[in-house]
Structure 1
């Protein structure tokens, strides 16, 4: 692979996202101070601090990396999230073990513009919040170590100051019109790396195999980091199969260390194949030896054959594979984009456990940790650059897009999980510029498509929702939101067939709808009677608004988990009978923060996830499991539905989601029969019963069988037959206390004291005293301003071993207080 000239506009070089430089690398997690504002200059970051000096302003706080500037304010219901400069500072003791070695700062991602200083010297700047980049600080460190203050003031440590900036800027991508936050901070890991004078900057490993899996081919090329201009070296390469056996090895003399160099080509008979069920990986070990020492590292690769059949399905290793997908944003409760490796691992494993075999990473290059997990778990990937909404800017804008595409492909080139490079999202969405020229957008899209194929001829290109560019890329996904933004969910199959006929290769990414966690409905499909059906189910301008416009579920529906499980259930049962379908990806896996949805039931949250922002599973998670997984499971709908309602003696539906052959239901210990599962019997694949609940407490148990395995599930709830009127008053109760954390619940009642089980009033929690609200999490139980779910809402309080008074206010009702 050859470099595309002219794409480097900052001091940086590129490396493998997973293991390059691992030999002498350490994460710089602790010992950082943070300031959420700008400085007059870097010197202000170097002033002596502490020591009781009241003039040491502004005041810095202690943080660990990764850290997001917007960890909490992104979901503050009362303010816009901060977009602007911020500073980080630390002191490093540099101890490079290599003679004349190079000292590197490796950023796995920082947003959105970053400047790096060693003492007062600016050593690098970078534009872009999602690609990896590195800074060679060797010379700046050496210069500082010659200054008197190195030992006298800084005691042999090197001060490093980093300025990040996520200010709004129309000439950078992604657009601030995007339906996600453009976060600031050092929100991925930052590593201190020591390398010898000559090292491997990037290995490009192309692993190919024929459809039958008989003949494998491996091509390896390398790029070297050689700042001192060495002329000669030797590289030793070794290929290890998934069982640990050495397949082949190679030694090559090098006399050109400044350009991309072909290193090894070999054929492998019947390679062990990477697949979503058995993600087998080979290891490529390499040792670069020169007069200055040795550099050792490795990369993982996989042999697999991919084929998006024209006017047909997707094939992996020659066999049809229905892509069962979802989406991911880098976003989590309490930390925003600064997810740790443990959090990421938990999230990806939850996806795999739900049955996911495909993921679209929206809408930007993501952490190498994510890609490594996709490789090892067996999850195929569509990864894309953040050219998202707003239109097309000028040359600076386009150059950033070119760079980000190049970086994404080169940095993640070796991952067997990646099958698609995404070039854009919703590029038909204007707004950032006075001019919106479709032909100019087409011209630039064509340029990116050519660039992507030049950098990597082995994978497909794709975009979502820009019909006038649909013919440019290899794979296209139109906008189909049946049952949410337009139409009814029963329109899904017909609309998909119509869109399939228009393009060469069809893949449906982004479908679903919002659900307010813990909100349930006895009549979830009621709003469908208002909806115009039989037409396009695309999303249009204003459809996300909760006010005005045509009737649509996104505005007129109840946002219950009950409705969304029906919508998902319908889509999944239809997909089982669409043999031409390559696959789909539900939007998204987890609720995430967005600045364009302040009026949602949890303010500033896109609530379309099947889990909440803190990994709490919604009911929808189990619907997917019932269709997509093999390990026996059963789940009764309604685990977070404490009170159901209806008339006395009325039979109410109970739905059971299971992947088992049959299930039996019990109400209060009495069996109400066994039913066989049939995926085409909607809803719940035929596993539904109409049961006569008793007034008061009820217990429902389901026992399901799959082969010789039996699994069961049980829920308890109250059945309320009293009718209510308008909510008029509230109660606030401490319902739980664990360690130093109390859980509070507000309930809404009418004048007669009957709980209003369909109340959706806004409630606002407050607290004064020693404790603090555990809020700004972006969850249904972690926001101080939230819409009620079935006439109640929950929040937690950190008591700090003291005394506090909690309050709740809601318009039209008396404010109430509770002493804790």
Structure 2
């Protein structure tokens, strides 16, 4: 009986140790830079994921619902993500550690935990300051306090992959709101803002990274920048940040981004946001084919720039933006039950619906899944678009597998049939339209 008890105690100890053994490191050698998770090469096939039922906005939090509600929502969403080969999600702080562990242990999906780091304001002495001044000592103390607490709370959480600081906070230095706007063209103005408002921010991000890694050295820290703006300042001020995370919307190709990051920073590049919307402003209708086209082009470049394949070798993966449509993104506090098709910013890199002088980027249509109506219990269903099925095929490719070459990756992506993906998705669209029609008849 004594031996049985001893074995049982050893089993429990081993199980706990294994549950807490997730170790993430960065390997930098002559072949390139890559992420290593528990001793295995790891390409991040990530997704920007959130849960906002139609009719809600940023003030809604899944994590404030009952455990039963959260579990049911996660089971539905994570099943779809696992099915398409997603191995990591980007989630903002607010998720409790137990759900990070739940997602990992039940679906094998890791979490990159994102602290906005003053992007949308900061609370100081009980007051909300909507525009963060990173040179202000009170703001600095508050932000460092928040990320310190986060690192302590999530230490040894199974499934925690990375910490991410900010969300294109360099863009937030120019405008105050969360809603995306066109960017100023004046180079002198950009550099002035970078030196006066950006440099203190990046310096503080580096201080935060040092502090967080002193608490938990097994989880790397990334920052989230808007494209490569202010990269020279980042090179000066963020030497202790592990990963250069970037939100980048350059159309079908990231261009010179891989080489610029390699030359300027010699850090791994992680695409924290990228992709395309599923609405064509010229045709004024949904365009699933072009969304899949842009996403596939982006992922092909990420894989081809992975370590060991002969190109820059510094790409460690990305998080497609985003899993389901955000019906609140345009206007943010009004028309929350309307799927708005107003484009809020302009980007000539997305040529299928670009007209000079007109906006073409539709913030409410970036989901690779369409969002179904909210039911009586507060849940919704996600309906995969063509990009979902195309990326499911893409994520079957592992650039670290033996024998993988640039030519192999190129051929594998050429073999992904977008038309077939569109055909699959159209069946989902018809089902969704039927459900929406039923809701209208019922007066919901």
Q: Could you tell me the TM-score, scaled by structure 1's length? A: 0.36
Which deviations, in whole Å up to 9, do the C-alpha atoms of 1:708-763 show, x marking residues without a partner?
xxxx97989xxxxxxxxxxxxxxxxxx99xxxxx978xxxxxxxxxxxxxxxxxxx
For 2:82, the equivalent position in structure 1 comes to 352
Q: Residues 245 and 271 of structure 2 are in contact (CA less than 8 Å); yes or no, is this contact kept in structure 1?
A: yes
Distance in 2, matches of 1:408 and 1:398, equals 15
Query: Does residue 153 of structure 2 align to residue 411 of structure 1?
Result: yes
Distance in 2, matches of 1:715 and 1:371, equals 33
Question: Mapping of 1:602-681 within 5 angstroms?
Answer: 606-613=364-371, 614-629=381-396, 680-681=410-411
Q: Please give the secondary structure, in 2, of the residue aligned with 1:797.
A: helix
For 2:245, the equivalent position in structure 1 comes to 477
Distance in 1, matches of 2:209 and 2:40, equals 27
For 2:263, the equivalent position in structure 1 comes to 501
Change (3 A) 1:425 1:556: farther
Distance in 2, matches of 1:688 and 1:432, equals 39
Range 310-319 or range 506-515, more displaced: 310-319
How many residues matched? Answer: 335
For 2:21, the equivalent position in structure 1 comes to 303
Q: Please give the secondary structure, in 1, of the residue aligned with 2:54.
A: coil
Q: Please give the secondary structure, in 2, of the residue aligned with 1:589.
A: coil
Question: Mapping of 1:218-229 within 5 angstroms?
Answer: none
Q: Measure how far apart 1:357 and its partner are.
A: 1.0
Change (3 A) 1:499 1:492: same
Distance in 2, matches of 1:392 and 1:357, equals 36
Q: Measure how far apart 1:557 and its partner are.
A: 9.7
Change (3 A) 1:593 1:357: same
Distance in 2, matches of 1:457 and 1:688, equals 42
Q: Please give the secondary structure, in 1, of the residue aligned with 2:93.
A: coil
Which deviations, in whole Å up to 9, do the C-alpha atoms of 1:268-311 show, x marking residues without a partner?
xxx7xxxxxxxxxx237xxxxxxxxxxxxxxx823244222234
Structure that is richer in helix per residue: 2
Query: Does residue 277 of structure 2 align to residue 514 of structure 1?
Result: yes
Query: Does residue 319 of structure 2 align to residue 601 of structure 1?
Result: no
Q: Residues 329 and 592 of structure 1 are in contact (CA less than 8 Å); yes or no, is this contact kept in structure 2?
A: no
Change (3 A) 1:403 1:592: farther
Q: Measure how far apart 1:330 and its partner are.
A: 3.8
For 1:312, the equivalent position in structure 2 comes to 33
Q: Please give the secondary structure, in 1, of the residue aligned with 2:89.
A: strand
Distance in 1, matches of 2:143 and 2:421, equals 54
Query: Does residue 233 of structure 2 align to residue 492 of structure 1?
Result: no
Q: Measure how far apart 1:686 and its partner are.
A: 5.8
Change (3 A) 1:684 1:365: farther
Distance in 2, matches of 1:413 and 1:798, equals 50
Match among 297, 305, 318 for residue 570 of structure 1: 297
Distance in 1, matches of 2:440 and 2:132, equals 44
Change (3 A) 1:588 1:688: closer
Q: Measure how far apart 1:455 and its partner are.
A: 1.9
Q: Measure how far apart 1:623 and its partner are.
A: 0.8
Distance in 2, matches of 1:743 and 1:352, equals 25
Q: Residues 365 and 383 of structure 1 are in contact (CA less than 8 Å); yes or no, is this contact kept in structure 2?
A: no
Which deviations, in whole Å up to 9, do the C-alpha atoms of 1:405-445 show, x marking residues without a partner?
12322222121321322222222122349x95233223322
Q: Residues 289 and 418 of structure 2 are in contact (CA less than 8 Å); yes or no, is this contact kept in structure 1?
A: no
Q: Residues 365 and 384 of structure 1 are in contact (CA less than 8 Å); yes or no, is this contact kept in structure 2?
A: no
Q: Measure how far apart 1:566 and its partner are.
A: 0.8
Range 382-391 or range 560-569, more displaced: 382-391
Which deviations, in whole Å up to 9, do the C-alpha atoms of 1:303-341 show, x marking residues without a partner?
244222234121223332211111122423356434622
Distance in 2, matches of 1:701 and 1:344, equals 25
Change (3 A) 1:369 1:629: farther
Change (3 A) 1:562 1:451: same
Distance in 2, matches of 1:447 and 1:683, equals 41
Higher relative contact order (CA 8 A, sep 6+): 2
Change (3 A) 1:247 1:505: same
Q: Residues 569 and 684 of structure 1 are in contact (CA less than 8 Å); yes or no, is this contact kept in structure 2?
A: no
Unaligned runs of 5+ in 2: 121-130, 178-192, 307-312, 333-338, 344-361, 372-380, 398-407
Distance in 1, matches of 2:415 and 2:433, equals 37
For 2:190, the equivalent position in structure 1 comes to none
Change (3 A) 1:371 1:685: same
Change (3 A) 1:469 1:561: same
Question: Mapping of 1:10-89 within 5 angstroms?
Answer: none
Q: Measure how far apart 1:687 and its partner are.
A: 4.3
Q: Residues 87 and 110 of structure 2 are in contact (CA less than 8 Å); yes or no, is this contact kept in structure 1?
A: yes
Structure that is richer in strand per residue: 1
Q: Please give the secondary structure, in 2, of the residue aligned with 1:247.
A: helix
